Every structure is written in C-alpha cells, then in structure tokens.
Amino acid sequence: MIFDWVTFGEPLSFWQMLLRIVAAVVFGAIIGVDREVKNRPAGMRTHVLVCLGAALIGLVEQQTVAHVVALGAAHINVSMGRLTAQIVSGVGFLGAGTIVIADRRITGLTTAASLWCAACLGLAVGAGFTTMAMVACLVVMVVLKLMQRIVHVNTYKRLEVQFIHRADTLNYIREIFDQMQIKILDQDFHAETQGDGQNVYTNVYTLSMRGKTRYQDLITILSEHPNIRTVRTRNV
C-alpha cells in the first residue's frame, strides 16, 4: 500500500523510523481525544504514549531481526513476536487501572479496550503496516462514536422507587412505563411503617428498556411526582 513502509531483511533508515513514530502519535491522539472529551480515566496523552511505546517495541523487534538477517549466517535462528507478545498481554495491566468499581457500578471498560487497541495500532505501525493501522483506527473511532447511535440494544435495568400513597403512585408509575414503552420483567416490593404511622413502600423493578429510551429521562419524570421520595438505580 502507498502508506506502508515495510522492509524485510533490511534495517530502516532514520526517516522511515521517524514516519512510523509520527503515525503512531497521530493514531493514538485520534483515539485519545475522544476519551479526553468524554472525561474518561485515560485521555489523549495516555493513548499517545501507549501507541508510541508499542510502535517503538515493533520497531526494535523488526530492526533486530533485520540486523540478524543481514549477517547472512544460516545457522542463526530468528524468533519473531516475542517482544510484541509481551505488549499485547502487558497493556492489560494498564487498562485495568482505568476500570473503576463504585457503588456496585463498573466504569472504564471501554477506555481499557481503547488502550489495548491503541497498543495494537502502535505495533502495526511499528511493523510498517500503516494502511492496516489507519483502517483499524477508523473502525475504532466508529465504534467509540457511532455504534451506540446506529445499533440500539434493549437493555435490562433495575430501578428502586420509594413512595407513599400506594394505589395512586403505582398507577402513575405504570402509566409512565407504558408511555415510555418500558416492560416490567420482575418486581420486588417492601413496605414499612415510619414513626408518624405513614406507610412507605419500596419497589425494585427489573425493566426491559428500548434502545432509544434514556434511563435519565425515566428517573427525572418519576422523581417529579410528589408521592415519590427516592428513585435510584440498582445493579443487584
């Protein structure tokens, strides 16, 4: 391809190595900017460094093999892929640092995956397959920016609603679910009497929500009712 600088058995020139390094920085920055804009744990600098480091490892391995091949000694064996294999597995530890578990919610998985992809892009660029890396970078950006808008998946959500005046409030909740085309898959309930003698009810709904339905909109609408005291998400 026109953007590929693949040379087998020949050491690279300074300019060839420089072009690969610049390409790795560009690809890492493209993915990192998306994460930075969305205020994710790993931003532009992290993705650039991961992609650049992986590209350097790819360059080191290719240059090492090229120098060995240039010796022309038939009895020397060349082992390909040992350094790059360590990158593929080792970046997982860095990605794990972006995964946060708080209030029984897990965040950062997409950022961890984007870091791993940035490392793979760096390895591809370091090996000289820049066209392949360019196409893969484009696919990664489509996944990060457009996939949720294009592919709508029905998701299961658990919602805890605490309220008073059971009959009137339950009718209101069911009406909202019907208007937003939300299906109740399961329902747990609990009732307790407060010190003033008023009954407080707690329902935990397992809901099937259409792809275009926003969880935040549902919570906002329910919380506006005067009988509903608390609305919050539940993971278990």
pLDDT (tens digit, 9 = 90+) per residue, 135-193? 999 999 888 888 767 766 666 778 899 998 888 899 999 999 988 888 888 888 888 88
Which pair of tokens denotes residue 151? 């592919």
CA distances (Å), origin 63, targets 189, 193, 198: 66, 75, 77
Share of the chain above pLDDT 70, in %: 83
User: Is the per-residue pLDDT at 2 higher than 50?
Assistant: no
* 70-108 confidence digits (pLDDT tens): 766 666 666 677 777 788 777 877 777 777 766 666 677
Q: In what order do the strands lie in the sheet with 183-193?
A: 183-193, 199-209, 155-163, 228-234
Q: Is 117 within 8 Å of 136 (Cβ atoms)? A: yes
User: Residue ranges of the domains in the chain?
Assistant: 14-150, 155-234
Report pLDDT for 172.
92
Give the residue from 3, 4, 97 showing the smallest Cα distance to 50. 97
The highest-level CATH class for domain 155-234 is alpha beta
Where residue 7 falls among pLDDT bands split at 50, 70, 90? Answer: low
Nearest CA-CA partner of 134 in 143, 144, 124? 124
Kindly state the tokens that stand for 103: 């209030």
The larger pLDDT score, comparing residue 83 to residue 120, is at: 120
Q: Tell me, yes or no, if the pTM score tops 0.85.
A: no
